[in-house]
């Protein structure tokens, strides 16, 4: 499977800026602080997506989707992007997202414009590969400081477009 090239990355960023839409995560997440280094595999409805290794005090986040996919978010990023709602039990608490993202569905036309196969890898900010497939979403914070993918089903279960 191919890995996104620098040129394809730039093309995808341009398309995201031109055609991306604003979304807000509308479903709260469960999260807990990680006490020791842990490796997490993110598994979505379409299978393995990526893996990540936590550091102490990072957050392990679990989405409230059918797949209940988990991922790591650094303490600084998590605390800037989520508000506490309530404790779930002695380990987990519920949080709501307070940010917005720009997202673009990777439909057939977008993949053709960027010369990508129906499935490909991107290298993430956390130095791992993430698989993206046709129909998934490429997303970015509003400042375009990074971008990553969200599987189509999980995106539709957790995000709403802002009008």
Q: 31, exposed or middle or buried, with CB in 10 Å at 0-12, 13-18, 19+?
A: buried
For the segment 125-134, the average pLDDT, to the nearest whole number, is 90
Structure tokens at 22: 């604003």
Q: Is the pLDDT of residue 127 over 90?
A: no
Strand segments, DSSP code E, in the chain are 21-25, 29-33, 39-44, 47-53, 59-63, 70-73, 82-87, 93-97, 100-105, 119-123, 129-133, 137-141, 148-150, 159-161
Give the model's confidence band at 1: pLDDT under 50 very low, under 70 low, under 90 confident, else very high. confident
- The model's pTM is 0.92
Distance between CA atoms of residues 54 and 46, nearest Å: 23
Give the model's confidence band at 163: pLDDT under 50 very low, under 70 low, under 90 confident, else very high. confident
For the segment 45-63, the average pLDDT, to the nearest whole number, is 93
Structure tokens at 10: 């730039």
Q: Are 95 and 85 in contact (CB under 8 A)?
A: yes
Give the model's confidence band at 141: pLDDT under 50 very low, under 70 low, under 90 confident, else very high. very high
The domain ranges of the chain are 6-24+99-161, 27-97
pLDDT of residue 120: 95
Q: Most distant CA pair in the chain: distance in Å?
A: 49
pLDDT of residue 8: 94
61-102 per-position pLDDT tens digit: 999 999 999 999 999 999 999 999 999 999 999 999 998 999
């Amino acid at each position: 499977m191919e890995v996104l090239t620098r040129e394809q990355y730039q093309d995808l960023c341009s398309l995201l800026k031109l055609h991306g839409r604003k979304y807000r995560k509308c479903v709260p997440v469960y999260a807990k602080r990680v006490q020791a280094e842990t490796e997490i595999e993110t598994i979505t409805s379409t299978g393995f997506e990526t893996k990540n290794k936590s550091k102490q005090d990072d957050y392990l986040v679990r989405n409230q989707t059918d797949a209940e996919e988990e991922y790591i978010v650094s303490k600084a990023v998590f605390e800037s992007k989520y508000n506490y709602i309530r404790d779930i039990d002695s380990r987990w608490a519920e949080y709501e997202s307070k940010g917005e993202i720009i997202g673009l569905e990777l439909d057939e036309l977008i993949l053709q414009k960027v010369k990508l196969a129906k499935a490909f890898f991107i290298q993430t900010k956390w130095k791992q590969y993430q698989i993206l497939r046709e129909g998934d979403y490429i997303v970015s914070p509003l400042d375009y400081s990074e971008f990553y993918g969200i599987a189509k089903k999980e995106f539709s279960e957790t995000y709403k477009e802002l009008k």
